[in-house]
Amino acid sequence: MEKVIVKVRGEQTDTEGEKSRIEMVAEGRHYCRNGRHYVLYDDHVVDGAGHISTVLKIAPDSVVLLRSGAVTQEQRFDARAASVSQYQTPYGNLELAVRTEAVNVVYGTVSGQVDVSYALSVNGQAETQNELHIEISAAEGEISRLN
């Protein structure tokens, strides 16, 4: 596994047109198996909910987001199909429905970029239009080892 830096930027627009953004940077690990890239990192963005381990499974045309710890979630982003998942928190569960509009994956050996556009509904109610941008790059010190 290679050490990587993961940068995540998300923008949400609610049904009233109000926009909000989140950004985070984390150290993580990367490996590739069967043509898919796996990126593992800890996510501290979610409302101070505590430790959340995150895994991204990145294929050429889809992304799966797995979270475990303070919250549990499996979310699929695939422009060919909508997905429904449970977002489990200590305060209760929410049903999340995602209609992915576009997935763009550009990936090299270790570094890559993922862009996802999707609409999100929570418990059957339309909530937000979302843009997700993820950059993965080899951590300093790993670059010389990989070349």
Cα gap 42→55, rounded to integer Å: 9
Closest CA to 137 of 16, 1, 27: 27
User: According to the model, what pLDDT value does residue 140 have?
Assistant: 80
User: According to the model, what pLDDT value does residue 142 have?
Assistant: 60
User: According to the model, what pLDDT value does residue 147 have?
Assistant: 39
Query: Mean pLDDT for each 10-residue chunk of the chain (147 residues)?
Result: 94 93 94 94 68 92 91 90 87 91 92 95 89 93 53
User: According to the model, what pLDDT value does residue 56 have?
Assistant: 96
User: According to the model, what pLDDT value does residue 19 have?
Assistant: 95
Query: CA 72, 84, 114 angle in degrees (round to 5)?
Result: 75
Residue 29, CA atoms < 13 Å, CB-side half-sphere: 4
User: According to the model, what pLDDT value does residue 48 have?
Assistant: 57
